[in-house]
Structure 1
Amino acid sequence: MSELADTMTQAAPIAIEAPLVDPDWLLADPHTRFAELRRDHAVIRISDQSYWALRANDVLSLLKDDQTVQLEGRDYVGFHQIPDGAMARFLRDMALFSNGKNHRAKRGPFARTFSHHAILGMQDRIRSVARSIVADLPRGESFDFVERMCGRVPSEMIAAILGLPVSGAAYFAPRIYAIADGIASIYPIDKHDRIETGASEVFAYVEEEMSSRLTAPKDDLLSRLVADWNETRTIEFSNLVHQVIAFMLGGSDTTRAAFAIAVSLLRQRPDDWAALRADPSMIPGAIAESLRFEPSVGHLPRFTVAEMQIGEARVPAGVPLQLSTMSAMRDPDLYDRPDEFLIRRTDHPRLHLIFGLGPHRCIGDLLARLEMEESLRALLEAAPDLEIDVAPQMIGFGGIRKITEMRVHIPSSM
C-alpha cells in the first residue's frame, strides 16, 4: 500500500436508521438482549421517536456532548402526554429536566449542603439510623426486606437530613414511590391517578413544612434552604419545594431498590459475604459493583439539538436520546469480565456512571453510597446470619427500575 494511501482519512460510514426493537422483547431479558444488540448496533429505537445509545464509549462522550442537552420538563411532559396537574408541574420544575442558567438556579441551593465535606460530616448520623433500623428488624420470622429495611433506610435518613420528623417518613415514602413510577422511559398512563395523588399530597406536605420555617426556623437543612431562598428569591417558592421533592425522590426509590439488590447479590455468594464480614473496608467496592451489575436506574435521558451520527446510526435533531447505563456498564470496552459480579474489581471509573457525569451528575451520589455502605455494615455486624427466602428481581430497562418482593429471615438468637 502506498504512503499516500496510508495517510488518507477514512471516509465516515454511511449513516443508517437505527433498528426498531420491541420493548417487550427487551424487557424479558434486558442484560442478554442489550449485549446482543450492542455487538451490532450503537443505537436502537424502541419507538419511532425514542433512540437509545448502548455502547459505553458513546454513553460517556454523549453525556458531555453539546449536541445533546437534558430534555426540558415541558418537553418531557409533552412527549409523554402527561395530563396537566401536580405531576406535570413537578416535572416542568424539576432540576433534572432543565439546562444552563435555569438548571444552576435550581441546583444551586443544594450545592453547599451536598459538598463532599458536608456529607462526610453526616456519616455518624447515617450509621446511627442504619443500626437502629437493623436492631428493629424481626427475628425468627420471615419478612419483606424491601419494606422493613430498604424502604426505611433512605426515607428515614432523608427525613433526618432535611429536618422532617422521622414519623413523617412513613407518610411521604409511599407517595414518593408513586411519583417514581412516572420517571420512566414510557410514562405509565394507566397509573396516572395514583401518581397524581402522590405528587399532590407530597407537595402539600413539603410546602407546609417549608412555609413554617419562613416564620419559625429550626436548626435543620430545610430552614437553611428556605433562608437562602429568602435572601435571593431567584426561583419561585413552589419551584424550591419541587427541588426538595426531587431530592427526596432521587434519594428514596433508587437507593431502596439498589440496596435490596446489593444484599441479595452478596448474601447469595457466601464467600463474598464472609469476606466483607472479615474485612469491612471492602464494603465500598462491593456496593460499587452491585450498582454496576444490576443498576436501579436504567438510563440517563438526553435530547438532541442537532442531527448526529453515532456509530453507524443517524439520530435526528429534536428527539429523546436515552443513554443506557444498563448496557454501558456491561460493555467489555468499559469493564473487564463485565458479566461477572466481582467485589474486588479494580476497574471502576473514578466517577461511577450510575450517577451520571457533567452538570447533571447526581448531587447526592456520596450520600446514597454512604447510606448503602453503612446499612450493609450494620447488617454484617448485627444480622450476619440473615437468610434469603425469596430473592428479588429488578424489572425494567430504563428510568427508575422496579424491584419485586424480597423475603428474608434472621434466626432468633439462642
Structure 2
Amino acid sequence: MNMQQIPEAAVPPRVDPHTLMDDPHTKLRRLREDHAIVSFADNHVLALRAEDVFAAPTDPRTKQIDGIDYVRLNKIPAGYVARLFEDIFLFGNDETHRAKRGLFARAFSFQNIRRRQTGIRAVAEDIVAGLPRGEPFDFVEAMAARLPAEMIADFLGLPRLDSRYFASLVYDVAMAITPIYPTAMHDTIEAAARELFTYIADALTSRLKAPQDDLLSAIMVDWHEDPVIPFDSLVHQVIAVIIGGTDTTRAGFAMLVSLLLQHPEQWEAVQQDHSLIPGAVSEALRYDPPVGTITRLVTAPLEIGGFRLQKGTILKVSVLSALRDPAAYAQPDEFDIHRTDHPRLHPIFGNGPHRCIGEVLAKLEMQEALAALVSAAPDIRLIDVPTMIGFGGIRQITRMTTKID
C-alpha cells in the first residue's frame, strides 16, 4: 500500500495485553484472522502475521529495543534488575552489541558446540538414569531444568553442583523478560539479580587470581588484557548468557516431551527412528514456543497491515502467533513431527545480528536429551499436562507430573 494513502489518524484496534495471558493461542488466532496488527497503548503495537513477524528482525526501519528503553517502558525501579537490563547485549545494537556479544562468539561457534555432543549426551543419560522409577515426579524439576543448567555450568566452568542454585536465581530474573512486567514480584526479581551478580562477579574475580581451563578464565584473561567494557558490564554479559542458556531450554524441552507423550504414535515413532528427533524438536518449538514475542523499535516510518507506524513506535512481533499462522504452515494447530514446511532457520531463534547465540547448543541439548530419554525410559507416562504461561517474552511452564513404570 502506498503510505501516502494511509490516513494520519489511522490506529490499530486497541487490545488489553492482560487478556492475552490465558489461552493465548486461541485469542491470537482470532485477532490474527481479522488484524495484522493491534495496539496495546499509544505507539505500542503487536504484529501478528508471519510475513510481518519474520521480516521485522532484519527490517532496516526497526532495531532491537535497547536496555534503557526496556527499563523505562516496563517501569523497572532502579537497582540491580534495571542495571542488568540496561546493559546486557540482548538489548543492545550496533558496535556496542557486537563488542559484548563478541566475548562469547568463539565459544558458541558451531564447531565448538559440536565437539561437546558426546559430553551433552553423557550428562543427559546420567540424569535419565537417576530419574525416579515407580513413583510420580515433576519432570520439569527432575530433568528439563537440570540438563541446560548443568550444561551451561560445564560450558562456563562453574561447579555443576552449583547449577541448581544459580538456575533458581535465573528463573526469578527471567520473569522480568515479559510484555507485562510483574511489579508484584519485583522484590523477588531484584533479590535474585543481586545474588546472581555477586555469584558471577566472585567467580570471575577468582579466575583472575587463579585461572582455570574454562571459558570464564579465558574471558577474564582477555578482558584483563583489553578491558573493552567495565567489569560490572562483563558480569552482566555472563548473566545474559546464563539466562539464555537455561530458562528457555528448560521450558522448551519439557514441552517437547509433553507433546510427544500426548501423541503416543509420535512418541513411538521417535523411539523407533532417532533421525526424527531434530524434526520433533523443531516442531515443539513451533507449536508451543518458550519465547512469545520479540521487541523492536521503529526507527523510520513503515506500514504494517494498512497502518503507518511512526518513528519511535514500540513494535512487538508475536512469534507465538506467527508460528501458528496458516499462511506459513499447513494445518498449524496440529502437532506433527513429520512436518516438512519448517523454514531453514527456525524463527524462534530470531534473525539478523540478534539471532540467538546459543541456538546450536539449545538444539543439541534437546536432541541428545530426548534420545537419552526414549532409549532409557520409553515407558514414561504423563500424569499432569504442563501449560506454557504467557504470550510474550520468556514464557513460564507449569509443573509436569510424570511416572516411569
Q: Distance in 2 between matches of 1:334 and 1:12?
A: 29
Q: Provide the residue aligned with 1:168 in structure 2.
A: 162
CA deviations on 1:267-320 (whole Å, 9 max, x unpaired) are: 111110111011001101000000000001001111112232112122232132
Q: 1:8-407 residue pairs with structure 2 within 5 A?
A: 14-15=6-7, 16-407=10-401
3-state secondary structure, aligned to 1:389: strand
Letter in 2 for 1:264: S
3-state secondary structure, aligned to 2:30: helix
Q: Distance in 2 between matches of 1:314 and 1:14?
A: 7
Contact 2:43/2:312 (<8 A) preserved: no
Seen in structure 2, the aligned counterparts of structure 1 residues 11 and 153 have a Cα distance that, compared at 3 Å, is closer
Contact 1:386/1:410 (<8 A) preserved: yes
Q: Distance in 1 between matches of 2:101 and 2:28?
A: 33
CA deviations on 1:158-205 (whole Å, 9 max, x unpaired) are: 111111101111210110000000011111111000000000000100
Contact 1:386/1:408 (<8 A) preserved: yes
Q: Distance in 1 between matches of 2:391 and 2:5?
A: 29
3-state secondary structure, aligned to 1:300: strand
CA deviations on 1:228-265 (whole Å, 9 max, x unpaired) are: 22232111121111111001001111111111111000
Q: Distance in 2 between matches of 1:114 and 1:155?
A: 16
1:12: Cα distance to partner?
Answer: 6.6
Seen in structure 2, the aligned counterparts of structure 1 residues 215 and 316 have a Cα distance that, compared at 3 Å, is same
Computed over aligned residues only, the root mean square deviation of the Cα atoms, in angstroms, reads 1.3
Moved more, 236-245 or 17-26: 17-26
Contact 2:302/2:309 (<8 A) preserved: yes
Contact 1:326/1:397 (<8 A) preserved: yes
Contact 2:63/2:298 (<8 A) preserved: yes
1:11: Cα distance to partner?
Answer: 8.2
Count of aligned pairs? 403
When normalised by structure 2's length, the TM-score is 0.97
Contact 1:18/1:314 (<8 A) preserved: no
1:13: Cα distance to partner?
Answer: 5.2
Q: Distance in 2 between matches of 1:319 and 1:122?
A: 42
1:346: Cα distance to partner?
Answer: 1.2
Letter in 1 for 2:15: V
1:29: Cα distance to partner?
Answer: 2.2
1:326: Cα distance to partner?
Answer: 0.5
Q: Distance in 2 between matches of 1:110 and 1:384?
A: 37
Contact 1:176/1:253 (<8 A) preserved: yes
Contact 2:3/2:308 (<8 A) preserved: no
Letter in 2 for 1:219: D
Contact 1:257/1:296 (<8 A) preserved: yes
Q: Please, which runs of 5 or more residues in structure 1 have no aligned partner? A: 1-8
The share of aligned pairs that are identical, in percent, is 52
Seen in structure 2, the aligned counterparts of structure 1 residues 77 and 163 have a Cα distance that, compared at 3 Å, is same
CA deviations on 1:85-108 (whole Å, 9 max, x unpaired) are: 111111011101110000001000
Q: Distance in 2 between matches of 1:389 and 1:40?
A: 37
1:82: Cα distance to partner?
Answer: 0.7
Contact 2:113/2:361 (<8 A) preserved: yes
Contact 1:91/1:97 (<8 A) preserved: yes
1:28: Cα distance to partner?
Answer: 2.7
CA deviations on 1:363-411 (whole Å, 9 max, x unpaired) are: 0001001111111111101111000110101111001111111101111
3-state secondary structure, aligned to 1:235: coil
CA deviations on 1:28-56 (whole Å, 9 max, x unpaired) are: 32112212211221111123342111111
Q: Distance in 2 between matches of 1:49 and 1:375?
A: 43
1:24: Cα distance to partner?
Answer: 3.2
1:27: Cα distance to partner?
Answer: 2.3
Q: Please, which runs of 5 or more residues in structure 2 have no aligned partner? A: none
Contact 1:42/1:313 (<8 A) preserved: no
Letter in 2 for 1:363: I
1:22: Cα distance to partner?
Answer: 2.2
Q: Distance in 2 between matches of 1:253 and 1:89?
A: 20
Q: Distance in 2 between matches of 1:258 and 1:25?
A: 24
Q: Distance in 2 between matches of 1:251 and 1:45?
A: 31
Q: Distance in 2 between matches of 1:353 and 1:43?
A: 19
